[in-house]
Amino acid sequence: MNLNSDNNPLENLIAVIESDKLAHLSLVQTMQSGQHFRSKVLDDDSIIVVNQYGLYRMKEDTSGLSIYGEHLFDYEAYFDMNRDYEQIQEILSRKDPHLEAAIIMNKGLRILQQDPFEMIMTFIISQSKQISQIKILVERLSHLYGDAAGAYKEVAYHMFPTPEQLIGVDEVIYKALKMGYRSRYLEDAVKKIVTRTVDLAAIKSMSYEKAKAELMQIKGVGEKVADCVLLFGYGRFEAFPVDVWIERIIGELYFDKKPSKKELNDFVDDYFGAYKGIAQQYLFEYARTLALGKNKPKN
DNA sequence: GCCCAGGCACTCA
DNA sequence: TGAGTGCCTGGG
């Protein structure tokens, strides 16, 4: 492996997204939201990203967003650039001042289109974990079982492993890797996906309800994880992942009391409509920034 | 030492 | 349908 930065592919400019296209695309806002765990900010503010296509270095400045790497990849698909975020933001902003403020603060936040298998494993791992810990565990799994993706500044990076690469990994091994009680879930996920008990390709053409039920056949995949997979792995904006934070925020902003599960779901369907998924991300980041929902409701 | 973290499975009413 | 509890592990 060539660690000489002069010849390093991550010094090789492969694409520039012009600044006039960046009104609704911020690399930092997108990469640092909780949909993505495989990027690293360097001292010069460029960001190393490992995604389903390979290893890249990206940097945003006044001239635009520059992408460095060995091969060009479909960054338009990855950054969801064919969706009209401006229109979505306009529609959602009109709903209420909270949502409007949330959007102003996160104007460049987009939903990345990532690999479904990676999303399944990552969000199983994420249960009761903080982002920093999720990153460490995902990194560990990739280093041990994924293909080498390259190196930069003497740090090696690896692709997220494929289901086939994880076939022999059982619960005992996952436990040794500190995956805790999620270990049997991870083993079950790989088994069901390799045997097509859960068909990841077929999910693309299923209805939202059917796709969700398909994913929830995997042990350890409940409503929240399934919705994250559908949103970040399949671009399904009907998915609205409800975690403890979102539950508290929605309760705080739109209800006087803690809503029941049904009340919350009915409200979300009705209020955010077809853009539930992205609305969830705006609200989540908004609440995280303002530390809303920090106090647990007393019911 | 204790509590909690961006859930889920399981049990019980 | 909802409330309660255990589960691995690491950090504050």
Q: Stretch A10-35: mean pLDDT, rounded?
A: 95
Amino acid identity of residue A47, one-letter, is I
Separation of CA A128 and C1' B1 in angstroms?
A: 21
Give residue-wise pLDDT tens across range A193-222: 999 999 999 999 999 999 999 999 999 999
pTM surpassing 0.85? Answer: yes
In eight-state DSSP terms, residue A72 is -
**Cβ proximity of A107 and A278 under 8 Å:** no
Q: Which nucleotide is nearest to A33 (CA to C1')?
A: B6
Alpha-carbon torsion (A145, A147, A152, A156), positive or negative:
positive
The residue whose CA lies nearest the C1' of nucleotide B4 is A128
Domain residue limits, chain A? 116-234
A247 CB below 7 A from strand B atoms: no
A243 CB below 7 A from strand B atoms: yes
In eight-state DSSP terms, residue A260 is P
Q: Is the pLDDT of residue A122 over 60?
A: yes
**Rounded-to-integer distance, Cα A246 and Cα A244, Å:** 6
Q: Which is more confidently placed, A249 or A66?
A: A66
Q: Domain A116-234 class?
A: mainly alpha
The residue whose CA lies nearest the C1' of nucleotide B8 is A220
**Rounded-to-integer distance, Cα A252 and Cα A5, Å:** 50
